[in-house]
Chain A
Amino acid sequence: QVQLQQSGPGLVKPSQTLSLTCSVSDASISSGGYYWSWIRQYPGKGLEWIGYIYYSGSTYYNPSLKSRLTISLDTSKKQFSLKLGSVTAADTAIYYCARVNDYYDTTAYRTYPFFDYWGQGTLVTVSS
């Protein structure tokens, strides 16, 4: 059973960098087949996709966060990480890591991504 375990501080000061790590069990992050993603959920419940990384190191970021965002991979530790700089109160949210799996439709010749495993979530509050 794939498990994603998050770690990192729950309180970050304004203008500082938010850093979270996701440790992956029972799945390889050093071979292809999956992307590894971060998603956040605001206190009002809205969900926002932050970005993802492939085993090759290729990254895809939400343009709304791109200038402040770094997602990285440490295959030796089976971890991927999120760094979000210059945070403000608007970055207060529950942050989730998730695996991006996909379904290949052999009749339509299309690949359909989805988030199939999620971490437990980390509430990050930005406050002085």
Chain B
Amino acid sequence: DIQMTQSPSSLSASVGDRVTFRCRASQSISNYLNWYQQKPGKAPKLLIYAASNLQSGVPSRFSGSGSATGFTLTISSLQPEDFATYYCQQSYSTPYTFGQGTKLEIK
């Protein structure tokens, strides 16, 4: 199985900050990488697919980049509703696997 590792495991930031989440794959996955946001008690929500494509309806302050084994998700200017946990997921091969998540907290 492909292992996905996210860093950091948690992050504190303030409204208006620029924040970056990192995700590393245990082998090259090209750009078969998706990002999800999860709020407490809710299902994950798709933000970015194929590493850099913004899902319809997702604000443009979210962006994704990377390929092969290293990927990033960036929020350009944090809004109050962005405090949540973020997961990466590879769809290069089955079994699909997720990172352990990065929890974004209010500073």
Partner of B97 from A45, A49, A116 at Cβ < 8 Å? A49
Are A47 and B43 CB-contacts (below 8 A) given A62-B95, A64-B95, A103-B53?
no
The residues of A that contact B101 with a CB separation of less than 8 Å are 45-47
* A63 at the B interface (CB under 8 A): yes
| CB <8 Å contact, B98 and A48 | yes
Question: When chains A and B are docked, how far (Å) is the Cα of A62 from the Cα of B93?
Answer: 11
Are A114 and B46 CB-contacts (below 8 A) given A45-B85, A49-B95, A63-B95?
yes
Chain A interface, DSSP helix/strand/loop, else mixed:
strand
| CB <8 Å contact, B95 and A112 | no
Chain A contact residue count (CB 8 A cutoff): 23
| CB <8 Å contact, B32 and A112 | yes
Chain B interface, DSSP helix/strand/loop, else mixed:
loop
Question: When chains A and B are docked, how far (Å) is the Cα of A112 from the Cα of B55?
Answer: 13
Partner of B96 from A46, A49, A63, A103 at Cβ < 8 Å? A49
| Residues 98 to 128 of chain A near chain B (Cβ within 8 Å) | 98, 103, 105, 110, 112-116, 118-121
Question: When chains A and B are docked, how far (Å) is the Cα of A94 from the Cα of B81?
Answer: 23
Kindly provide the distance from the CB of B30 to the nearest chain A CB, expressed in whole angstroms.
Answer: 8
For B75-103 the 0/1 string (1 means CB < 8 A from A) is 00000000001010101001111101100
| CB <8 Å contact, B46 and A116 | yes
* B31 at the A interface (CB under 8 A): yes
| Residues 41 to 96 of chain A near chain B (Cβ within 8 Å) | 45-49, 60, 62-64, 96
Question: When chains A and B are docked, how far (Å) is the Cα of A49 from the Cα of B55?
Answer: 21
Kindly provide the distance from the CB of A101 to the nearest chain B CB, expressed in whole angstroms.
Answer: 8
The residues of A that contact B30 with a CB separation of less than 8 Å are 110
Q: List 5 A-B contacts (CB under 8 A).
A: A62-B94, A62-B95, A64-B95, A114-B50, A115-B44
**Across the A-B interface, the 7 shortest Cβ-Cβ residue pairs:** A118-B43, A112-B50, A47-B98, A114-B49, A49-B96, A113-B91, A62-B95
